[in-house]
Structure 1
Amino acid sequence: MPDVIAYGGDWNPEQWPEETWEQDVALMREAGVNRVSVGIFSWSLLEPAEGVFDFGWFDRVMDLLATNGIKANLATPTAAPPPWFGDAYPEALPVDADGRRLTHGSRQGFCPSSPIYREKALRIAEQLATRYRDHEALALWHVHNEYGCHNARCFCDTSAAAFRAWLRSHYASLDALNDAWGTAFWSQRYSDWAQILPPRATPTFPNPGQQLDFRRFSSDALIELYTAERDLLRKIAPGVPATTNLMAGAHWDMDCWAFAAEMDVVSTDHYLIGARAEPHIDLAFAADYARSLNGGRPWLLMEHSTSAVNWQPRNRAKAPGELRRNSLTHLARGADGIMYFQWRASRAGAEKWHSAMLPHAGTNTKIWREVTALGAELARLADVAGSTVSADVAILIDHSSVWAQDHPAQPSVDMDPVEEAKRWHAALWRAGVTCDLAHPEGDLTGYRLVLVPALYLVSDAGAANLARFVERGGVALVGPYSGIVDEYDRVRLGGYPGAWRDLLGVSVEEFFPLDGPIALASGASGTAWSEVAHAAGAKVLDTYATGEPAWTRNEWGDGFAHYLTTRLDDDGLAEVIAAVVAEAGVEPVAAAPAGVEVVRRSHADGRSYLFAVNHTGEDAVVIPPGGDPVTVAAGDVHVIYA
């Protein structure tokens, strides 16, 4: 990452007459832009016909950036194959679960397992890297764009063959696969690898193990495309880091933990969902996830919006000051780059109503004034770059568990694992506690408290990892319907939650999904879910009216493991989380009223920056530890140096 805060956005000069380019770059300098992403959707212009390349116009783009001191995230344009590709190789176009072959006309029009797509993608990447590997403007390879956003899973015959090869590499034999998938049910036992298909449309529920493994295979296929391009770029231009923009926290079709492990620096995109009551808390979740994917190191916000997007049912424009609050919240939570889609709003195309740094109305606008003011502010905050965020709390989350719980034959449609994780994160946010996200098998050393909101599937290694954490003195809180199945989506027998029955000191005999609230003895309410549980060593802290445990606490080694047998309402959840936060000795980074977000970034030498983001309509007083009170105006952001 740079020693300044990267600031800018996607620049698509090919959409505009060349006489516009000089104006663009002059306005970039006025706005404080020091980084742009270029070439993302340029394949059809860089290779207008198969094997015919035209880099002359792109040379002028790169040279113009270099002359003006602006660095480039240089993209391989492989997210959008040109029309000639689909016309020449229709077998490489994606096929959906119903057997429909999709056509060219948007983006990501390719099957991830297609060998001809990989061949053509590597060829354009090689041409690009060979030409610009020593260019002064080059700062970072931006590989592809938003892998799997629209073609995360392809069901064609090529994908079927690749899926079978993946399965053969993961299972020693057909017997092992049949055991893992439970194919004795519904007469599904396979006697030949050739019989196995992707989970295409069937008369009723697909096999859960087949569906889960196909999700894993499809994620791996996308990662393989990334690493193939990355390795080629490394060979041609060693020393130039590579990334791709994930959609952490919003897009769950790829295993972000596995993807991030292959990236030189993690970058991600984030867009506010206008329908959410408090979208800034969802933003904090995504930022914390991106930081965690990068091992706590600074990360790059590759895309967000200056105002409205174009793809939601109602595309809300941002209020005055919201652009700054959003951007500085990402910075507070570890981003060393603040970038947007895009620099200049498009005049035509599917995203012409997506906001940009330079809007259709030009520079005499709210957006432009806020963009230029933020650029100046980020230049003043350059010293923040390279600092990190530390957290005493982690939330466990795993894509395989989300995928397994996504199978339609579940006890209740109301148990959404992603939304539950976000709800627990929001409770910490409101308590002023910064947290990381962690993989169940990841290193939990250094945390005081681990939350497990909704981990339906957990491997033996993940189950043992949490038990060791508690045994060594940690505090854990496990939510309902967690630890239920193994990594193959097979039920752990002997009583739920099978993976952590001993750790929690609780045995559950039956689930009772709810269609309305259920009262607890404490006055809290359970929603959506309840369980008939029996304490088997645990202390009961709250019960249902019938006396069965709703909240338990079990001593395990030097630590404590709590369990909830219901999905508590927001107030009840806040009380329980406050209790375990206190038990773990975790404290907020500063005293702040409701609606004021506080996060600290620090350098190894002790320099630190306390970000106080006031999301309310009233002035608020923030009291840093050992410091004087600071008034943060309504809607303002204040950075307190220490």
Structure 2
Amino acid sequence: MADFFPISVWYGGSKARAPMLAQPTEESYKIARRDIENIKKLGFNSIRYWVDWTTVEPKPGIWNLDFIDRLMDLAEENGLKVIIQLYLDSAPNWIASLYPDSRFQAQSGDVIDSQASPGFCCDHPDVRKEAELFMQKVAERVKDHPNFYGWDVWSEPHVVSWTWLDWLPRAVGWVCYCPHSQERFRRWLEKCYGDISNLNRAWYRAYRDWNEVIPPKYVTLSTWRDLVDWQLFSIEKLAEDLKWRVQTVKKIDPGHVVSSHSAISSVFIPPLNWYGSPDDWEMAKQVDVWGTSLYPKHIGESMPLDSAWRGVALDATRSSSDTQGKDYWLGELQGGDGVEGIRFGEPVTPQDVQMWAWSAIARGTKGLNFYAWYPMSCGYETSGFGLINLDGSITERARAAGKVARIVNQNMDLFLNAKPPQAEVGIVYNIYSYIMLACSRERADEIVNIVSSALTGIYRALLKENIPVDFIHINDFAKGDLKNYKLIFMPFSIMMTSEIAEGVKKFVRQGGKLVAEVRPGWSDEKGQCSEMIPGLGLHEVFGCREKWIRERQKPKLCVESVQELMPSLAEKMEISGSVYEEALEPLNDTAKILAHFEDGSPAMIINSYGKGKAMLIGSLVSGAYELDRGEENGKFIKGFYKWAGVKPLVEIAGSDKSEGRILEGLRCTLLFGFNHDNKKSSISFRLRVPEGKYRILDLSSQTEVNWSYDNGLRIERELEPQEVCVLKIEQV
């Protein structure tokens, strides 16, 4: 893994769309040979074959594996390494005949028959054994091929995948409630609570034994501890199931890298959404390499994803892997136009392909897997997402992807060893907030808007200043190792454990600066409301308590006294909030009011605590910035990094739609310059490096680049619309 940077395309040996495979013929192998030769000629160094259970075991114990050898050999003949993508979701239907109680079940009681997907519930012990046998048979077949590189054992993990259960009511989407999943939940509860009497007290029930326990299926007035537990169980179940897949493959093949990748970063998606979604930080623990899919021009209201949304997805995935000391890959990177049914996304251009690829590499990815070689030949996404055309003709998009691959191939050691610099700013991802919002009967889209808008708003403001950012899992506070951060943003952290709250206190007490928004610590993880808000003792950190709170979609905050903290800001300014007005009341002499709502109620308070400082804002200023892009909100959020003494590693002049990122190599620095504008731009990059003599090489053109030194290394570049430059900087 440490000596190879895979840049692959998804390919199934024919025009069949994943996860399906066509019945191979001699003619299809001729076409496959042509395709694989073209993949190699374009510059890719690897290929990602998918292997589905239905094709491999069409009847119990009848194994169809010869096609894998043929495809592996074709790749080897062309000098391509191979990654195998396993699909358990595409399971053979004889499973249902042998094990009819293995079908997934929704909370409504509806049984979900598999129609090419979603397969069957592996909580059923016999289905699990059958699935293990499938994975191990494939592993036995491929592990000794000299060009075999590694595995992806789960594409876009969910409890139920690749299915739209449109006949179910909108509120029904929690899974799985089959007898075996319910029993697994009971065993999980028994491990957590020990005795049924403890569960009864927590859930306000009167069960006599564990066999009477029923998983929650709706929200009730009295308590939501049961639904908190169901969501925590779902998160742990997905992580355990990924671990099981990894261990199953490694039992046969311990020597190759094993990966998995999410459909979208978990910072964007609550655990109950999309029929059960994972926590990236938990999933990254289970594999050698975690990753994500990235489809910036898919279908949906948020599309196309701009540089900030893409950056959040990439940096959050990187952060989840970094905490485990692991690399991350893009398991899927969009290769062609987005299609869903009869809806179509914006056309994908060659410039898009290069922009997306270099954005990921600039954020430290060590693997790119383009989806897919051919457009989808059938199904819900028919005609979409292909790098080439369905008739086999090569597109400029494919050539653009190949150009990125060639540059990486020519400089592989350089890109493998180059790492993002240590960020000094963190943004908290609080999965408990998502859990509490689901318990509060908030609609899925409203949950995402509240939380992800806040995270993305902060990220967007800092991106404009080229400030590196990590995403910090809220549980990392409990571990107490956050000393690398000078500044942490903690938006809308309404639920947390007492251990997390103690970690928050420790961070500030030891000299950190913390900025929080709206009701931190309102509830603990048991669903118990704190006696005072901020809760769990955080009123000591913020030096205030909540006086009252009300809904207001666009409240105004009049900021009067921040100039001494942030000299770059005006003495008085008006900024926008969103969703809430929370009036605050100072509790001590060190707490200072910085802003008021229009009715005069205190809206923002800063407090000294130990060696550090903490600020609480009574509205989602970050979310308002993401939704409205107000200039004053942007200035306000940017002011925090200066307050914390953080300096940008790259300063840019000449364009407000440009970006500069660096990777630190063994004896060099890589500068990635992005022109996000739709017009040609003259951009000046200045790096904070020591004065001296430098050699700068453009890795695309292989030409040397002129530079000057003026309080930093200054590089002037003319970049075409949506162009990226990649520069290797060495001090000589």
TM-score normalised by structure 1 residue count? 0.93
> Is the aligned partner of 1:476 residue 2:500?
no
Alpha-carbon contact 1:433-1:588 (below 8 Å) kept: yes
Alpha-carbon contact 1:478-1:562 (below 8 Å) kept: yes
Q: Which residue of 2 aligns with 1:53?
A: 63
Q: Distance in 2 between matches of 1:284 and 1:238?
A: 34
Q: 2:352 aligns with which of 299, 310, 322?
A: 322
> Is the aligned partner of 1:602 residue 2:632?
no
Q: 2:99 aligns with which of 89, 93, 106?
A: 89
Q: Which residue of 2 aligns with 1:549?
A: 602
Q: 2:724 aligns with which of 612, 616, 637?
A: 637
> Is the aligned partner of 1:235 residue 2:251?
yes
> Is the aligned partner of 1:167 residue 2:201?
no
Q: Distance in 1 between matches of 2:368 and 2:486?
A: 31
Q: Distance in 1 between matches of 2:641 and 2:435?
A: 29
Alpha-carbon contact 2:684-2:717 (below 8 Å) kept: yes
- Bigger drift between 354-363 and 466-475 goes to 354-363
Q: Secondary structure at the residue paired with 1:39?
A: strand
> Is the aligned partner of 1:111 residue 2:121?
yes
Change in 2 beyond 3 A, CA 1:288/1:532:
same
Aligned-residue offset at 1:100: 0.8
Structure 2, unmatched stretches of 5+, are 14-20, 162-173, 271-276, 560-572, 688-711
Q: Which residue of 2 aligns with 1:375?
A: 405
1:229-282: CA deviation from partner (whole Å, max 9, x where unpaired): 211222222222211112324444212211111111222212225533653321
1:573-593: CA deviation from partner (whole Å, max 9, x where unpaired): 423322221111112221124
Change in 2 beyond 3 A, CA 1:167/1:99:
same
Change in 2 beyond 3 A, CA 1:206/1:640:
farther
1:310-337: CA deviation from partner (whole Å, max 9, x where unpaired): 3385422224411110111011111111
**Residue identity in the other structure for 1:392:** E
Q: Please give the root-mean-square deviation of Cα atoms over the aligned residues, in Å.
A: 2.4
Aligned-residue offset at 1:475: 1.0
> Is the aligned partner of 1:99 residue 2:121?
no
Q: 2:156 aligns with which of 142, 146, 151?
A: 146
Q: Distance in 2 between matches of 1:73 and 1:370?
A: 22
Q: Which residue of 2 aligns with 1:196?
A: 213
> Is the aligned partner of 1:540 residue 2:593?
yes
- Bigger drift between 130-139 and 265-274 goes to 265-274
Alpha-carbon contact 1:199-1:206 (below 8 Å) kept: no
Alpha-carbon contact 1:205-1:408 (below 8 Å) kept: no
Q: Which residue of 2 aligns with 1:301?
A: 330
Q: Which residue of 1 aligns with 2:273?
A: none
Q: Secondary structure at the residue paired with 1:555?
A: strand
Q: Secondary structure at the residue paired with 1:36?
A: strand
1:347-372: CA deviation from partner (whole Å, max 9, x where unpaired): 23343322122222543533233233
Q: Distance in 2 between matches of 1:499 and 1:59?
A: 62
Aligned-residue offset at 1:206: 8.8
Q: Distance in 1 between matches of 2:351 and 2:542?
A: 46
> Is the aligned partner of 1:508 residue 2:546?
yes
Alpha-carbon contact 1:43-1:80 (below 8 Å) kept: yes
Q: Distance in 1 between matches of 2:456 and 2:118?
A: 29
Q: Distance in 1 between matches of 2:242 and 2:461?
A: 36
Q: Which residue of 1 aligns with 2:693?
A: none
> Is the aligned partner of 1:176 residue 2:207?
no
**Structure 1 residues 65-464: aligned runs within 5 Å:** 65-148=75-158, 150-151=160-161, 153-181=175-203, 183=204, 188-200=205-217, 207-247=223-263, 248-249=265-266, 250-252=268-270, 253-272=277-296, 273=298, 275-276=301-302, 278-295=305-322, 297-311=326-340, 313-382=343-412, 383-390=414-421, 391-409=423-441, 416-442=450-476, 443-464=481-502
**Residue identity in the other structure for 2:371:** F
Alpha-carbon contact 1:70-1:137 (below 8 Å) kept: yes
Change in 2 beyond 3 A, CA 1:297/1:238:
closer
Q: Secondary structure at the residue paired with 1:422?
A: helix
Structure 1, unmatched stretches of 5+, are none
Aligned residues: 634
Q: Which residue of 2 aligns with 1:528?
A: 579
Q: By percentage of residues, which structure has more strand?
A: 2
Change in 2 beyond 3 A, CA 1:359/1:467:
farther
**Residue identity in the other structure for 1:560:** K
Q: Which residue of 1 aligns with 2:705?
A: none
Q: Distance in 2 between matches of 1:511 and 1:284?
A: 33
Q: Distance in 2 between matches of 1:180 and 1:104?
A: 36
Alpha-carbon contact 1:590-1:622 (below 8 Å) kept: no
TM-score normalised by structure 2 residue count? 0.82
Change in 2 beyond 3 A, CA 1:362/1:64:
closer
Aligned-residue offset at 1:209: 1.6
- Bigger drift between 231-240 and 260-269 goes to 231-240
1:142-173: CA deviation from partner (whole Å, max 9, x where unpaired): 11322107358312222111111110001122
Relative contact order higher in (CA < 8 Å, ≥ 6 apart): 1
Aligned-residue offset at 1:81: 0.9
Q: Distance in 2 between matches of 1:236 and 1:206?
A: 50
Percent of matched pairs sharing the same residue: 21
